[in-house]
Amino acid sequence: MSEAVVSPGVVSPAVMSPVPIGRAAIGALGVLALALGALQSVVEPALPLLQRELGVGPAEGALIGNTLLVTGAVITPVVGKLGDRYGGKRVLVRLMAVVSAGGLLACLAPNLPVLLLGQVLQGAMVGALPLSFILVRKHLPAGASQVAIGLVVALFTGGGMVGMLFAGPLAEGLSWHWMFALPTIAIIATTSAVARLMPHDPPVRPDSGIDWPGVVLLSGTLLAFMLAVVTVTGDGGLPPFAVGALVVAVAVLATGWVAVERRAASPMVDLRMLAIPAMWRACVLTLVVTTAFGMVVFLLPQLFGAPADGYGFGAGTTDIGLLLLPGAVAGAVSDSVGGVAARRFGPRAVIVAGAAVTAVTMIALASLHTEAWQLVLAKVLTAFAAGVGTTALLAGTATAVEAGDTGIATGLLVVTRVIGVALGAQSGGAILAAGTDPMTGRPAESAFTTGFVVAGLVAAMSLLVVRITGKEARA
């Protein structure tokens, strides 16, 4: 572990005695994680219903979930730095105010633009995890803090399962507004409990300030990139010159970010770390794997919800949530298995196995999707394969970089993972939009077949990446 930088008059958390906290404070953090996980997951099973209620197509439906993912990717490294600098509790309470505002806005949204704005604010919830880790590490001994961190992560994942289960009954029994309202109410209540029960943690004030120009430029690059993706894959979109302008904007912002980071005294991201082979290979593989999985995440609920008088199953929101639940459980289990597999077999072997499973599963699904159990099994296999693979890459990268770069290195992989899922979901929406019958407004069965084949081919690309990078490493 790198040494803490201590300014005069500031106590280093590395040397201070932890302030004891009770089970009630840890419990409040855990329940908050549960509520956040539920709010994050309600959209996936309800996508077909939201598209019908809001009168939008598959491409716009994919945007609903992607907006939250992209905001989370942008905000997570920023709030981590702010938590170290100003105190985890202080930043967490303010961050939850933003998330709560987003949840309230979503539950009152009359149309797609307002719902998207609510999703933008809700995306800040991803930053709650590193802030929670800061709190338990400062207030608990090493062994106890590891248990508490595991509890928070487990409850966040469990909240995702809860959200999938209650989204349908709420949306169908009351209205889709309530599936945003109830988790938001729980977040407001548990944030109040955390504010009362959790002691204040002393901030760390390093000699150098936060690299705000780097933060702004990286955020702008990610947002412009996603806007370009949505525009290109959407059904309508902007004129070609506008798309070209977005592409140029991404290039300019990215170039500016690199230039700023190279000159910054304390850069947000040390670019030398990105040149480490283990780092850039992990980023490329994570992007490919999660892009394939993002297509699966979007396509399966759409097929479940397609009318039963054709090729679909006519499942309602509640049924879709139940059908997707086994895949969610498989994804949660894979997070713990991935680290163990990486230590025993190495990240490369785990990625090869996961990519092969995903590619074979999706190619098979292109011709075998007439029974619901076939789709459920496909989601379980691909969720487990993607989770194991990306977790193995995280574990392998964490040990390949300098100890002081572990946080930012794994943070960049998390950002890459989020972008990959968003890119895959948006691509799936574009494929369905392109195959939609103008008379019925429904995607043709051939569009789903094409989507499954493309997802399988994208997964197979990771095998090619492993082979190419393996040859370069041996050379």
Residue 298: its pLDDT value, please? Answer: 85
Q: pLDDT of 236-295, one tens digit each? A: 455 667 767 878 888 898 899 888 888 877 776 777 777 777 788 888 888 888 898 888
Q: Which span out of 10-24, 181-195, 209-223 was modeled with the highest average pLDDT?
A: 181-195
pTM for this predicted structure: 0.69
1 has pLDDT over 50: no
Mean pLDDT is lowest, of 17-21, 426-430, 457-461, for 17-21
What is the rounded average pLDDT of the residues 441-464? Answer: 87
More confident residue, 340 or 261: 261
- pLDDT band at 205; cut points 50, 70, 90: low
472 has pLDDT over 70: no
Q: Which span out of 134-148, 159-173, 218-232 was modeled with the highest average pLDDT?
A: 159-173
More confident residue, 402 or 307: 307
Q: Is the CB of residue 127 less than 8 Å from the CB of residue 76?
A: yes
- pLDDT band at 17; cut points 50, 70, 90: very low
What is the rounded average pLDDT of the residues 328-339? Answer: 71
Residue 454: its pLDDT value, please? Answer: 92
Output the CA torsion sign for 312, 314, 320, 326.
Answer: negative
19-201 shares its CATH topology with 270-475: yes
Q: Is the CB of residue 119 less than 8 Å from the CB of residue 106?
A: yes
69 has pLDDT over 60: yes
Q: Is the CB of residue 282 less than 8 Å from the CB of residue 469?
A: no
3-state SS, residue 149: helix
Q: pLDDT of 105-130, one tens digit each? A: 888 888 888 888 888 888 888 778 77
Q: Is 205 left (phi over 0), alpha (psi -120 to 50) or beta?
A: beta
92 has pLDDT over 70: yes
- pLDDT band at 471; cut points 50, 70, 90: low
Percentage of the chain beyond pLDDT 70 is 76
What is the rounded average pLDDT of the residues 379-401? Answer: 77
Residue 404: its pLDDT value, please? Answer: 47
More confident residue, 345 or 317: 345
Residue 377: its pLDDT value, please? Answer: 92
Separation between Cα atoms, residue 28 and residue 196, nearest integer Å: 10
Report residue 287 as tokens: 């992007």
47 has pLDDT over 60: yes
Q: pLDDT of 406-437, one tens digit each? A: 556 666 777 788 778 878 887 888 888 888 87
Domain 19-201 annotated CATH 3.30.750.24: no
CATH superfamily of the 270-475 domain: MFS general substrate transporter like domains (1.20.1250.20)
Q: pLDDT of 143-199, one tens digit each? A: 555 556 656 666 777 777 788 778 778 877 788 888 888 889 989 998 888 888 777
- Return the exposure string of 24-33: e unless at least 16 CB atoms fall within 10 Å of the residue's CB, then b: ebbbbbbbbb
Q: Which of 78, 88, 96 has its CA nearest to residue 131? A: 88
Residue 399: its pLDDT value, please? Answer: 61
Across the strands, what pairs with 436?
A: 443
More confident residue, 343 or 462: 462
Q: pLDDT of 21-32, one tens digit each? A: 667 777 787 788
Average pLDDT score, the chain = 76
9 has pLDDT over 60: no
More confident residue, 449 or 133: 449
Q: Can you spell out the DSSP letters for 73-136?
A: HHHHHHHHHHHHHH-HHHHHHHHHHHHHHHHHHHHT--SHHHHHHHHHHHGGGGGHHHHHHHHH
Whats the size of the chain, residue-wise?
475
* Domain boundaries of the chain, sorted by first residue: 19-201, 212-268, 270-475
